[in-house]
Amino acid sequence: MSLGFVYLRYRRKGKSPIEVDMFAKERISFYKLSQATDNYDERNFLGKGSFGFVYKGTLDDGRVVAVKVFDLHSEGALMSFGAECEALRNLHHQNLTKVISSCSNPDFKALVLEFMPNGNLEKWLYAIDSSLDIIKRLDILVDGASALQYLHYEHATPVVHCDLKPSNVLLDEDMVARVSDFGLTKLLAPEESIVYTQTLATLCYLAPAYGKRVLAILVEYGSEGLASTK
């Protein structure tokens, strides 16, 4: 038995780490992702987040995707990948980012997402030549509110995004808004209305003109790390 155990370990050493698809939708290997992004060429670079990088890629069947690669040397990246997988695995709404697949092995973690050709809302809000009129802005507000309504009240487990801001709202080809980046998400147990988090998101984004209640919520979140659907 001992000899057999040593033999099996010796055989496994030469094999590549097992790649896992956390979503069980379709399997896209590390090699296929490298091909799709031209080995993560800078020409396909879309942006950088707190825990990694996003690249544009084209799969074998012609589909254009966004590949979110987690920087495993960054503190909190592994936890962020786990949180995003846990949140997105069971979320289905027209105003949320759609996940096509994932790729996970000990040395590499990535999510394959639907590509949003119109980029993020921040780019549109602050562009000099922005064409967002008041009607389109209201449409985007309704899209975002619909996503939050689903996350907070319509999903079996209430979901607190924890980092909702213009750069995390993506726009598809029809300018429909999709909430993205669930790396700091917290899931509330049935008996919970507040959850504690050690990882704080973008504290300075919330506008200051919403009154004392929002200020109190900011103090709770910023000083104590208490996050809720409020």
Active-site positions? 163
Looking only at the bridges linking them, the beta strands covering 226-228 and 194-196 are antiparallel
State the pairing for strand pair 99-105/64-70.
unpaired
Terminal Cα distance for the chain, rounded: 59
Q: Do strands 52-58 and 64-70 pair parallel, antiparallel, or not at all (unpaired)?
A: antiparallel
Query: Residue 101 in contact with residue 28, Cβ under 8 Å?
Result: yes
Measured CA to CA, the distance from residue 158 to residue 46 in angstroms comes to: 30
Q: What is the DSSP letter of 70?
A: E
Count other Cβ atoms within 10 Å, centred on residue 116.
20
To the question of whether residue 165 is assigned a binding role by annotation, the answer is: no
Going by C-alpha positions, the residue among 186, 214, 179 that lies closest to residue 200 is 186
Residue 181 and residue 148: Cα distance in Å, rounded?
14
Please work out, in degrees rounded to the nearest 5, the angle formed at the alpha carbon of residue 132 by the alpha carbons of 131 and 133.
105
Enumerate the known binding-site residues for ATP: 68
Q: Which residues are annotated as a binding site?
A: 68
